Structure 1
Amino acid sequence: MNISDWKRTIHAALALPAYLAGPKARTRLARRWLGAEAKPGGFPAAVAAFPVALLVWYLVARIATFGFFWTEAGAAGSWGGPSLLGAWVVHFFVALGMAVMAMWVLRPLTRWQVRTSDLVNSSHGR
């Protein structure tokens, strides 16, 4: 998981709305977040990538705000409970595993949407 993966998640979350906005929006989005040129097609990849990117950002937001939703009543049944720290640690590592897998899935889906020869942020971590 590197900065390129995080950029991919932003691109994937915005690619579907960009397809609806037109080719100029897709080109600007691909250049900004992937350092590549958008290619024609790729709409199915944008549709598939959108919920995966939303899942990553949901997991990040949920773990960052985990303590705000903590109640003593829910502590007994929580993974890692009954302490807030134990529950947060367990949920953090579960979310981390899910986010890594989701980012792995986003790699080919974002490559499908851009010209791969121009792709600066390849899966090699550049």
Structure 2
Amino acid sequence: MARAAYYAVGSLPFAFAPTKVRARMTRRAFQRPFALAAPGPVRAIAHTVLAASVGWVAWFVVFLAAVAAFRGVAYPLVAADGYENSWGGPTLAGAWAVHAALGVGLLPIWGVLLAGLGMVQLRLTQRLLGRNGPWWPIPLAILLFAGGVVFFVAWSHQA
């Protein structure tokens, strides 16, 4: 799981590297062979765009996890204005305990989400650069990016 999460986060900068470097990263991340099958310029560009898109979603997930963990642990410093009506209220100690437990307790869920994105990246690389993977990562990458953009816009416009 940790290797797939690492691959998900590392895929954004490596999406713009030459295809041989991307294949080497795939081999190193998962410690198993990966054969580059002369992808050609169309497949290489498609992989760059789709891998960067899913990589952007992975970095957004990392950002959200860090914000949630920080805000949970540092709840009294960043958001303790109306703790009487917040989760764990009416006391500050209760609100802090609930927010800290959620912020830190959800970190494994964020890790599983990152690992899933890493597996999508692996299947995408196998399909476009190795020519032997399944077809489903291509439309899934497009859907993940579209959903990530919609979620980012909604998150950035919250009050």
TM-score when normalising by structure 2: 0.51
Contact 2:16 2:48 in 1 (8 A): no
Assess if the C-alpha contact under 8 Å between 1:9 and 1:103 holds in 2. Answer: yes
| Structure 2 residue runs without a partner (length 5+) | 133-159
Structure with the greater relative contact order (CA < 8 A, sep ≥ 6): 1 or 2? 1
Which residue pairs with 2:76 in the alignment?
A: 70
2:52 paired with 1:47 = yes
Closer/same/farther in 2, CA of residues 107 and 38 from structure 1, 3 Å limit = same
Aligned to 1:25: 21
TM-score, structure 1 as length reference:
0.61
2:95 aligned with 1:89: no
- The equivalent of 2:5 in structure 1 is 9
Larger Rg: 2
State the identity as a percent.
22
Alignment pair present for 1:37 and 2:43: no
Tell me if structure 1 keeps the 8 A contact 2:3–2:29. yes
What letter corresponds to residue 73 of structure 1 in structure 2?
Answer: D
Shift of 1:50: 0.7
